[in-house]
Amino acid sequence: MAAATGKDSIKAVWVERLSSALRTALACTIVGCTTLYGPARLRDFLAYPAFSYVTAILIVSDATLGDTLRGCWHALYATIQVMIPCILTFQVIRPARFSNALAAVAVAVITFMVALPESTPLMAKRIAFGQAVIVFVGAAIHGAEEGAVTHPIHVALSTALGALASVLAMLIPYPWLAYSKARKTCRLYVENASERLNIYVEGLTAQNKQAATDLLSQAKFLSVTGAKHLQTIKDTRGGMACEIKPKIRKLNPGENLQDIEILMKGVEIALDSCPSFPVSVIDEGIKQALLDMKGKIGLKLQKAKCFAPFDATTAPEAKAGESCVQAPKTGGATQADLPAFFFLYCLELLSGELPVGQNPECNSENTNKTDTRDVTSKRDQEKANLRKTWDCSTIKLPNMERWTLATKCSLSLGFAVLFGLIFNKENGYWSGLVIATGFVTERQATFTVTNARGQGAAIGSVYGILCCFIFQRFEDLRLLPLLPWIIFTSFLSHSRMYGQAGGISAVTGALLILGRKNYGPPNEFATARLVEVCIGLTCFIMVEILLKPARAATLAKTEFAWSLRALRDCIDDTSRLCAGQKSALSSSIPALRRKHQEVITSRINNLEKFIAAAESEPNFWFLPFYGACYRKLLVSLRKMECLLLFVAIEIETLPQVSDGLQELINNYLHSLREKVGVSLKCIQELISMNSLTLLESGVQKISTSHDDNELGKSSPSADVLFRTLSRLDEEEDENSIPQHSKEEAIGIEQELKSRLILRMYSLEFCISSLTKETQEIEKQVKELVKWENPESCHSTKEGSHGGG
């Protein structure tokens, strides 16, 4: 069944990419037919068909109708942002007076003005950079032939053609809506989650370790696909904000799916932590309860698949006394049993109201009211992001990072235009355009991306030249070989080797040769353009090195330290929060969870990006990046991120427990702060010292006793928990509820006990697992410092021998 689900996901991905490639080909075909075979009067206005192709590719690639409409909005914003200062500049300095140096300076100034505001979208910046290059380089090349107003208008109309072709490609033969894509992806995710749930339950009841390991491997493979589905749904939110609302839009297709994914991660962590199989606490009663819960969760998933509200009323309510685990009558759980209890706890959350990913400021009493309001707020936020580009009141003073980014863009494009015009004035556009169309705001592997762009431009040019040779007698048919090439490069954009930068360069290289006329011999043009591309990429690399010399490996190390800091702060806040008054928990925990979601997750996501960039960048004379160690650290951080969220969920019921259990929870969290928090602080400090001696002393200082973590020992919460439950029994006998029969009261009492046991044992498991992951981080950091400082390792060994 897992193989079938995997095949369905792969098939869906291929169909979606093929559809996107065909629509890209259709947009380029519209541009080609208009600029090659349109009325002569129209072709006179569309003087820059090359930029029409570039605009269409930038907007339509992997887009939906909503994304395309948003891209057109960004193209309009870029055009206004660039054309007004360009026309004003030509009124002061006529195009005939533009030299190579003046054109480079003008491009640099306009680029700086566009890149500095943070509110300008990335797509608008790319289009604006390209327009600035074409306007001022065209003035330097053609001089007096270009009008002060008509020349910028021609560039704007060429941009408009590419945007219009993108919209038509999204409408023919039927509209490809962002909401339709989200619904389809939502179905795939629900099927993926259902299959994983079956595998997890089967794994918990496995009779041997090998069978459980095989099942867990299948689930981990499916979890990667599920995470991609969630990211796809998240990416469609911007497009949905630009589309017309159908009636079904009142439901958010991605609603509560993030809740499911977080709880699925908890189930996976629990199953992966089980030391032996079969699990001792899983008896026939619990097996039956697992099947019942699996059916209940399955019904809720089917409702989510059909886009019905996903709440506690989806499936039948459990009767009083029904719970997946009964309170042990004697003794307590061992450390080996805690993963199973946490597994069952996650399933109960899955079958309940899913409090994980809801708006932290709402509670279970107003869940139904806040669901609709939360969906509406998300759509309003996306629309606000579009309006923000025109709202001057949202402009903030740029920070140093924005100044650095704007300076880098300005210098890169300025020098690229200058040297491109000096080398070959007729083809001076391409040195600047290769930088403009590939601009990004985030950190990237500079040499890897540059290499992909260069290779893409080369293979695209070679393909174009070969097709020109083959179709030299049928020039009117030269658009035909573009169609398979556009499809091929669309798939190439999703490859690790080339990526989006290489794919766009490859398709553009062929389009500029096969999709235009009257540019001279194809061989000479391709050669000149490749040299111009190399000039532009060289300028980009030099400016990148001079203004942002930090390697991705260094950034990954720094971000790792910040991730540890974020985790430690969350632990400290949790401990201090629970040590305070109970009444403050209901208002403070939402802020704690919001901090967890915004700070910790963003830090770890940045770390993952830097690790990927560091693994792909060349080493040169530096020490090779220890990617395997960083990947292990990333896995531990992800686990700690998930476990801390569960700790926050579990302590939400603190105001409802007795003083004895509150004291026990406070002791747990104090231990968490003393062991894990202090260890993370020391690791954070030591990671930047690059000294094995300091690391050894630090590890000794923060080393903790592992006696309580030995398998087979009784859980330290067992005695306090059972004493508290005994007191609850006495209080229940003294204060029995008159409106319930004795049987109902016993059932309610047993259910409360069972849920309390689950919550307490789950909290204990989370804290124990956090301690283990911290120890694993200590181990990996020690290995990392040894890798980066081999001389320290040798000196330590020599000192130990000398001391002996």
> What does the H/E/C string look like for 626-686?
CHHHHHHHHHHHHHHHHHHHHHHHHHHHHHHCCHHHHHHHHHHHHHHHHHHHHHHHHHHHH
The number of residues making up the chain comes to: 804
User: Residue 582: is its pLDDT beyond 80?
Assistant: no
User: Residue 564: is its pLDDT beyond 50?
Assistant: yes
For helices 742-788 and 678-686, what crossing angle results, to 10°? Answer: 20
* DSSP conformational letter for 441: S
Please count the other Cβ atoms lying within 10 Å of the Cβ belonging to residue 168.
15
Residue pair 300/315 in contact by the 8 Å Cβ criterion: yes
| Cα 135 off chain centre by | 36
Q: Phi and psi (nearest 5°) for 504?
A: -65, -40
Residue pair 333/279 in contact by the 8 Å Cβ criterion: no
Q: Residue 119: what pLDDT? A: 83
User: Residue 751: is its pLDDT beyond 80?
Assistant: no
Q: Residue 98: what pLDDT? A: 87
User: Residue 738: is its pLDDT beyond 60?
Assistant: no
Amino acid at 567: L
257: nearest Cα among 235, 234, 284: 234
> What does the H/E/C string look like for 709-769?
HCCCCECCCHHHHHHHHHHHHHHHHHCCCCCCCHHHHHHHHHHHHHHHHHHHHHHHHHHHH
Q: Which residues pair with 714 in a beta bridge?
A: 334
Cis-peptide into 278, omega within 30 deg: yes
Looking at per-residue pLDDT, the higher value among 788 and 801 belongs to 788
Residues above pLDDT 70, as percent of the chain = 74
Please count the other Cβ atoms lying within 10 Å of the Cβ belonging to residue 376.
12
Residues above pLDDT 90, as percent of the chain = 23
Looking at per-residue pLDDT, the higher value among 752 and 294 belongs to 294
Q: How far apart are CA 644 and CA 567, in angstroms?
A: 8
User: Residue 321: is its pLDDT beyond 80?
Assistant: no
**Residue 26's pLDDT band (boundaries 50, 70, 90)?**
very high
Sorted by where each starts, the structural domains of the chain and their CATH numbers stand as 1-175+399-546 (no CATH), 178-308+337-351 (no CATH), 552-580+588-698+719-724+749-788 (1.20.58.220)
Question: Is the alpha carbon torsion for 549, 552, 557, 560 positive or negative?
Answer: positive
Q: How far apart are CA 169 and CA 174, in angstroms?
A: 9
Can you tell me whether residue 132 is helix, strand or coil? helix
User: Residue 240: is its pLDDT beyond 50?
Assistant: yes
Backbone Cα Rg of the chain: 31
Distances (CA, A) of 241 to 74, 178, 236: 14, 9, 9
310: nearest Cα among 178, 193, 229: 193
Distances (CA, A) of 578 to 429, 564, 721: 63, 21, 18
Q: Residue 56: what pLDDT? A: 93
Residue pair 698/684 in contact by the 8 Å Cβ criterion: no
Looking at per-residue pLDDT, the higher value among 665 and 36 belongs to 36
Q: Which residues pair with 659 in a beta bridge?
A: none
Q: Residue 161: what pLDDT? A: 94
Distances (CA, A) of 452 to 441, 495, 530, 689: 18, 11, 13, 36
Cα of first residue to Cα of last residue in the chain, in angstroms, is: 61
pTM score, whole prediction: 0.82
Q: How far apart are CA 736 and CA 746, in angstroms?
A: 10
**Residue 574's pLDDT band (boundaries 50, 70, 90)?**
confident
Q: How far apart are CA 526 and CA 759, in angstroms?
A: 68
Q: How far apart are CA 610 and CA 560, in angstroms?
A: 10
User: Residue 628: is its pLDDT beyond 50?
Assistant: yes
Can you tell me whether residue 504 is helix, strand or coil? helix
* Structure token digits, residue 174: 């039927």
Listed ranges 29-38, 585-594, 794-803; the one with the highest mean pLDDT = 29-38
Can you tell me whether residue 334 is helix, strand or coil? strand
Q: What is the mean pLDDT of residues 683-703?
A: 62
Judged by average pLDDT, the poorest of 284-288, 568-572, 706-710 is 706-710
Mean pLDDT of the chain: 78
User: Residue 380: is its pLDDT beyond 60?
Assistant: no
* Structure token digits, residue 466: 């070969």
For helices 257-273 and 742-788, what crossing angle results, to 10°? Answer: 80
Q: Phi and psi (nearest 5°) for 334?
A: -90, 170
pLDDT digit string (tens) for 404-435?
888 999 999 999 999 999 998 888 889 999 99
Q: How far apart are CA 577 and CA 592, in angstroms?
A: 9
User: Residue 490: is its pLDDT beyond 70?
Assistant: yes
**Residue 324's pLDDT band (boundaries 50, 70, 90)?**
low
Start-end of H helices in 306-366: 338-351
DSSP state string for 24-73:
HHHHHHHHHHHHHHS-HHHHHH---HHHHHHHHHHHHTT--HHHHHHHHH
Q: How far apart are CA 561 and CA 568, in angstroms?
A: 11
**Residue 357's pLDDT band (boundaries 50, 70, 90)?**
very low
Per-residue buried b or exposed e for 182-191, using 16+ beta carbons within 10 Å of the residue's own CB? bbbbbbbbbb
467: nearest Cα among 506, 420, 513, 498: 513
**Residue 128's pLDDT band (boundaries 50, 70, 90)?**
very high
DSSP state string for 228-277:
HHHHHHHHTHHHHHTS---GGGGS-TTTTHHHHHHHHHHHHHHHHH--SS
* Structure token digits, residue 622: 């530096």
Q: Residue 746: what pLDDT? A: 53
Q: What is the mean pLDDT of residues 298-311?
A: 65
Q: How many CA atoms lie within 13 A of 648 on its CB side?
A: 28
Q: What is the mean pLDDT of residues 767-779?
A: 90
Judged by average pLDDT, the poorest of 157-171, 209-223, 526-540, 614-628 is 614-628
Q: How far apart are CA 286 and CA 298, in angstroms?
A: 18
Cis-peptide into 173, omega within 30 deg: yes
